Amino acid sequence: MGKKSVRENKNIYFESREALGLTRAQASELIGTISESRLEKLETEKTLVHPEDVVDMANAYKRPELCNYYCTHECRIGKDTVPEVKVSSLSEIVLGMLSALNSLDSQKTKLIEITADGVISDDELKDFVEIQKQLDNIDMTVESLKIWMANMIADGKINGKKLRELR
């Protein structure tokens, strides 16, 4: 195994490889689609990473959250539309989901009143924005659950094949 880098400001792809204790050569072989020299350029930000590179690294490194990172930090469209998801434990995700759903439940009558006429007036806008924030919280917990599931599948703790069959 090669020496561990002393480089500061390592990007997430560099850190993910190092966390597995892999050299670039080993990682390149594991990934199968990225040469060692390209991997070095991606990790040192001498070239732009492509979505397919991220998918391949995420699969090889068993780090599905790399895809969310790419979308929220590097993708021109995703930066404005995809929320950054924090990797959490299942209990944190479930409690967050229940909290967001409870908050929204108490506001559902208000949402019906605001949207019933198909128009959101200026005096309804503040309430609508608050409800939208609760919906965003629900979205975040769903995305967090998806990443948690992907991590469990990658780690072999959930049978991915069986899950796909059930879907």
CA 10, 15, 17, 21 torsion: positive or negative? positive
91-141 pLDDT, tens per residue? 999 999 999 899 888 899 999 999 999 999 999 999 999 999 999 999 999
Q: Say whether pLDDT at 54 is over 90.
A: yes
pLDDT score, position 23 = 98
**Residues 91 and 97 sit within 8 Å (Cβ to Cβ):** no
Residue found under tokens 């998801």 = 85
pLDDT score, position 5 = 63
Whole-prediction pTM: 0.82
11-39 pLDDT, tens per residue? 999 999 999 999 999 999 999 999 999 99
Q: Say whether pLDDT at 2 is over 90.
A: no
Average confidence score pLDDT of the chain = 94
Backbone angles phi, psi at 119, to 5 degrees: -130, 140
